[in-house]
Amino acid sequence: MQDVDDIMLNFTPSSLMLLNAILAIVMFSIALDLRPADFRRLVQAPKALVTGLVSQFIVLPVLTFLLILATTPRPSIALGLMLVAACPGGNISNFITHRAGGNSALSVSMTAFATIAAILLTPLNIAFWGNLYGPTRAILRATSIDPLQVAITVALMLVLPLFLGLMLNARRPEMAARIRRPMQNLSMLIFVAFIVLALAANWSFFLDYVHIVAVLVILHNALALGGGYLAATLAGLSQFDRRAVTIETGIQNSGLGLVLIFGFFGGLGGMAVVAAFWGIWHAISGIALAGVMARTEAAR
């Protein structure tokens, strides 16, 4: 069996373009739930939003780095964990927050703001934490990742469709209302189908190496959820908002992670297996946590 740091997974340029398009559709469907008034309310009372952004882009990367120092995984796996932690909240966080009885409007707005912030913060976090750790620094230098190109990729794939969805909802609310639910259901179905097909094309690699990353990803996800809950508790947020921040921190945009891995790191095996398993596991843990949370009504 090859070293996981040397494996390059099968992923064609056309597959990468398709994944970009799918994620753009997903972000467009999320934006159909947003109105300019949602942003104005959060600007007027920003504590919950700021707490969520701090939890995602500061608390989670710090916890990730401490996890890597404590476990010293293979370099490509370590960089995969860092990259996932640098991504904004995942596209299923809004659905899971709703299931958990949390603040869905806050969740959708956190996804939107985090997506915009990711233009700057995702490449910054990858570069900062990756260069801070010797084994991952070597990978970054070998790949010569360009933070500007990462920022452009994030902007085109996530921020532009978010803006277009916002504009449609603001100017044609009747049309947005008609297509909102079908678009959200269709985009999630296409996204899941794509991940399944991508895994099938690399199934032997995935089976060979998933056991190496499974425990780390499960622990990483638990730290993300725990870090989000702790940050929200320390900020004095209501239980209603705390559930949204917890889930938003624990549900990462692993689809964006895969785009960056295949677009800038050549499908490096350890990184790709981490992002792929994250995409599976965070849905399982998030839905399970939502089931537990939903048993009691959240205080507002």
The total number of structural domains that make up the chain: 1
Task: Tell me the C-alpha distance between 214 and 221, whole Å.
Answer: 11
Assess if residue 106 is contained within a domain. Answer: yes
pLDDT tens per residue, range 162-173: 888 888 888 888
CATH of the domain at 197: 1.20.1530.20
Assess if residue 300 is contained within a domain. Answer: no
Interhelix angle for 36-44 vs 104-132, to 10°?
Answer: 70
Determine the structural domain holding residue 243 and report its residue range: 4-293
**pTM, full prediction:** 0.85
Assess if residue 120 is contained within a domain. Answer: yes
Assess if residue 28 is contained within a domain. Answer: yes
Assess if residue 299 is contained within a domain. Answer: no
* Angle, vertex CA 132, rays to CA 126 and CA 136, nearest 5: 65
pLDDT tens per residue, range 113-165: 888 888 899 999 999 999 999 999 988 887 766 778 788 888 887 788 888 88
Mean pLDDT of 3-28: 67
